[in-house]
């Protein structure tokens, strides 16, 4: 039997890249930590689930339809998105979660020797996809927990193809207002594609926050990402989308994998979009109330909190974040350690239902007394 010559076959940039290892399924984690429940406060999921009409679609999906391929270009959802935002359906591309649309854009514009620019402490997939695709990811340090516009512009050279801005930023919640965003786009002047990731846009209530969809007509090099995973509670069905000018999206479409978005995800997302106003209001109210509760309770512990927009906040601990994770897991509370985000000794807490927030606070009180 011949063994493949992996040393020769595998590119150096893949050899040097460490695979992301996801956590075990919840039942396995519960057995491992000896708990009978697990509050998931690690992935910024919506504890209210999907909007009611989307729940109906999921509950009533006929099993025989699983044998039929989905719409290859997510036709009906793109029509609905176009109607919602006053754009053309061909200005939208839908993917199997945000990770896939990130890959679409990088594959469309980058070739050997090119680079992308983003922050050093943001959603890691921009960096990951560029790196394991063989492109340089230039990471600019955050400034006061926010994207540094001047620092990013200073890193641009003739081989820079894409600049990624997460607005609001995951994990810090900081954001650029409309004036700052437009000044940045003016400085870029169309020389690069600017991707603005608005995964948490639906959580924002501040009127100064820029709506990327409204900026696309003025800035044809702008690509906007959004998702049904967060506010719309469809993370398990994996569906996200991008929008941009007709010309730019036509280029990106050439790198798309058709049929990657399953039928149930398409139909649930379509229903969610048609039934979202009350759901958004309820979710925003939950986030406001539980953030206020956490600020009060964690303030009593003397902990530093980094909070902004989005369904999460960060907390700095006087101990290892990985140790805190393990101790909280033994209490049935799962948080996100932040060492991987380059924030050692911080944890990110997703906003959950009040009983989950109470258990989190009780757990932190307990483990900090015992540190």
Looking at the structure, tell me whether residues 27 and 144 fall in a common domain: no
What is the residue-averaged pLDDT of the chain? 96
Q: Is the pLDDT of residue 208 over 80?
A: yes
Instruction: Kindly report the CATH number assigned to the domain that includes residue 360.
Output: 3.90.1150.10
pLDDT at 103: 96
Within 8 A by CB and 6+ apart from 273, the residues are 77, 80, 81, 84, 232
pLDDT at 17: 83
Looking at the structure, tell me whether residues 203 and 108 fall in a common domain: yes
pLDDT at 255: 93
Find the mean pLDDT for residues 213-242.
98
Task: List, for residues 4-32, the tens digit of each pLDDT value.
Answer: 988 899 898 898 888 888 889 999 999 99
Quickly list DSSP for 33-61. HT-S--EEESS---TT-S-HHHHHHHHT-
Domain total for the chain?
2
The verdict on residue 322 lying in a domain is yes
Looking at the structure, tell me whether residues 264 and 319 fall in a common domain: no
pLDDT at 66: 96
Looking at the structure, tell me whether residues 136 and 216 fall in a common domain: yes
Omega within 30 of 0 (cis) for the link into 168: yes
Find the mean pLDDT for residues 302-306.
97
Residue with tokens 């925003």: 284
Domain, as residue range, for 174 = 55-273
pLDDT at 369: 84
Looking at the structure, tell me whether residues 117 and 194 fall in a common domain: yes
The verdict on residue 242 lying in a domain is yes
Count of all residues that appear for the chain in the document: 371
Looking at the structure, tell me whether residues 28 and 162 fall in a common domain: no
Out of 233, 249, 273, a domain closes at: 273
Within 8 A by CB and 6+ apart from 217, the residues are none
pLDDT at 365: 96
Task: List, for residues 139-168, the tens digit of each pLDDT value.
Answer: 999 999 999 999 999 999 999 999 999 999
| DSSP helix/strand/coil, 4 | coil
pLDDT at 164: 98
Looking at the structure, tell me whether residues 265 and 297 fall in a common domain: no
Give the pLDDT band of residue 180 (cuts 50, 70, 90).
very high
Find the mean pLDDT for residues 257-266.
96
Find the mean pLDDT for residues 270-296.
97
Looking at the structure, tell me whether residues 214 and 289 fall in a common domain: no
Looking at the structure, tell me whether residues 31 and 81 fall in a common domain: no
pLDDT at 3: 87
| DSSP helix/strand/coil, 131 | helix
Looking at the structure, tell me whether residues 110 and 235 fall in a common domain: yes
Find the mean pLDDT for residues 302-314.
97
Give the pLDDT band of residue 370 (cuts 50, 70, 90).
low
Find the mean pLDDT for residues 56-75.
97
pLDDT at 16: 87
Q: Is 283 exposed, middle or buried (0-12, 13-18, 19+ CB in 10 A)?
A: buried
CA of 176: how far to CAs of 169, 188, 196, 244, 278, in Å? 9, 16, 11, 19, 27
Q: Is the pLDDT of residue 323 over 70?
A: yes
Out of 208, 238, 273, a domain closes at: 273
Q: Is the pLDDT of residue 371 over 60?
A: no
The verdict on residue 161 lying in a domain is yes
Instruction: Kindly report the CATH number assigned to the domain that includes residue 188.
Output: 3.40.640.10
The verdict on residue 1 lying in a domain is no
The verdict on residue 253 lying in a domain is yes
pLDDT at 128: 95
The verdict on residue 326 lying in a domain is yes
Find the mean pLDDT for residues 213-224.
98
Q: What is the DSSP letter of 7?
A: H
Looking at the structure, tell me whether residues 95 and 132 fall in a common domain: yes
Integer Cα distance of 20 and 76 in angstroms = 34
Looking at the structure, tell me whether residues 202 and 214 fall in a common domain: yes
Find the mean pLDDT for residues 313-325.
97
The verdict on residue 69 lying in a domain is yes
Out of 238, 273, 308, a domain closes at: 273
The verdict on residue 234 lying in a domain is yes
pLDDT at 21: 85
């Amino acid at each position: 039997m011949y063994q493949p010559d992996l040393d020769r076959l595998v590119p150096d940039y893949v050899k040097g890249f460490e695979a992301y290892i996801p956590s075990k399924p919840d039942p396995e984690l519960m057995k491992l930590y000896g708990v009978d429940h697990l509050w998931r406060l690690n992935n910024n999921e919506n504890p209210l689930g999907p909007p009611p009409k989307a729940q109906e679609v999921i509950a009533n999906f006929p099993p025989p339809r699983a044998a039929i391929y989905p719409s290859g270009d997510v036709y009906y959802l793109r029509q609905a998105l176009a109607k919602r935002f006053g754009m053309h359906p061909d200005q939208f591309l839908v993917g199997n979660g945000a990770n896939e649309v990130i890959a679409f854009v990088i594959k469309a514009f980058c070739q050997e020797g090119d680079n992308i620019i983003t922050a050093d402490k943001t959603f890691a997939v921009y960096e990951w996809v560029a790196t394991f695709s063989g492109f340089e990811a230039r990471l600019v340090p955050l400034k006061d927990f926010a994207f540094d516009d001047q620092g990013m512009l200073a890193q641009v050279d003739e081989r820079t193809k894409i600049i990624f801005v997460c607005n609001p930023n995951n994990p810090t919640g900081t954001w650029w207002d409309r004036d700052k965003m437009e000044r940045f786009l003016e400085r870029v002047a169309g020389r690069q594609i600017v991707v603005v990731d608005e995964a948490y846009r639906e959580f924002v209530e501040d009127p100064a926050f820029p709506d990327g969809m409204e900026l696309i007509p003025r800035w044809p090099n702008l690509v906007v990402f959004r998702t049904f995973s967060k506010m719309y509670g469809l993370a398990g069905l994996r569906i996200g989308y991008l929008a941009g000018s007709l010309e730019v999206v036509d280029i990106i479409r050439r790198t798309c994998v058709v049929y990657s978005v399953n039928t149930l995800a398409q139909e649930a997302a379509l229903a969610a979009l048609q039934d979202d106003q009350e759901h958004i209001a309820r979710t925003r109210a939950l986030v406001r109330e539980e953030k206020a509760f956490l600020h009060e309770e964690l303030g009593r512990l003397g902990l530093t909190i980094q909070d902004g927009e989005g369904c999460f906040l960060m907390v700095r601990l006087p101990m290892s974040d990985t140790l805190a994770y393990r101790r909280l897991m033994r209490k049935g509370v799962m948080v996100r350690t932040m060492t991987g985000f380059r924030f050692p000794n911080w944890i990110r807490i997703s906003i959950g239902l009040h009983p989950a927030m109470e258990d989190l606070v009780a757990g932190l009180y307990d483990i900090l007394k015992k540190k």
